[in-house]
Each structure stands twice: as structure tokens, then as C-alpha cells.
Amino acid sequence: MLLFPKENINDKNYLKICPSGELLDRKGRLVKFDDSDYIYEVAIFKVDGKLYCVNNHCPHQNAPEICNGIVKGTFVTCPLHGWTYNLVDGSNAQPNRGLKRLSNFDIIEHNGWIYIEIPNIPIPKWRR
């Protein structure tokens, strides 16, 4: 598991993920966090120069595939079953399919690097 260096930027704690140039427009990138008890995955995207970070697990069937999703505008579609989510706020773009949404995380570009605010990793109900 990769360990990411921590940095304080504008009074917030971030993890230094990768050089900005490594992100391709409209292509997701998987990032895994390991708290030694539970592995949590996020997907990061760059769309027309804007950055987004969301939970990598599609709420439909908990498949870790959002990073491989198809991006159109600010929406990402899970490649397994076609559920679509807004990258801006994580909302389900097809509410007739349910109200489940993706979690969002603060992501910035600073000095040529991509940073994610240290996420509060939720512990699944089955691990409590």
C-alpha cells in the first residue's frame, strides 16, 4: 500500500498524491488509503482542468469501479451497470434508480502536485 506524505496547506491537512501531469483529462485514477484496519478507495478525475475526488465504490452494488467510469461533462457512469453520478456533489443523476450517492473529498492542485484533504475514512457497519 502506498503511503502519501502529509502537508499542511492553508491550515488544512492534505495528502500529496501525484504530480499534476500524471492525471489525464476525463480518465479516473484510483487512490487507496489503508488505516491498517480497513482499506478505502477514492477515484480522482480532472475534467477540463477542474479536479474531483469521490468514493471509488459504486453505491449500487459496492463495486470498486468508479475510477474506470465513463466521464461526460461532470458526470461519471459506472462501467458495470450504468449508474451515473455527478462528480461535483456525488449525487445520483438517475434518482429513479435510488438516492444513494458518492462521497466527495476536497482535492486541490498546489505547486504542480495533486493533494487530497485527509479523508475521514468511514468504518463500515460490518466492522463496528
State residue 123's pLDDT score: 62
State residue 51's pLDDT score: 98
Report pTM: 0.88
Reported for 105-112, long-range contacts at CB under 8 A and 24+ positions apart, including other chains, are 105/42, 105/53, 105/54, 106/12, 106/53, 107/44, 107/51, 107/52, 107/53, 108/9, 108/14, 108/51, 109/20, 109/51, 110/9, 110/14, 112/19, 112/20, 112/21
- Encode the chain (128 residues) as per-residue pLDDT tens digits: 457 889 999 999 999 999 999 999 999 999 997 765 667 899 999 999 999 999 999 998 989 999 999 999 999 999 999 999 999 999 999 988 888 999 999 999 999 999 998 876 666 565 55
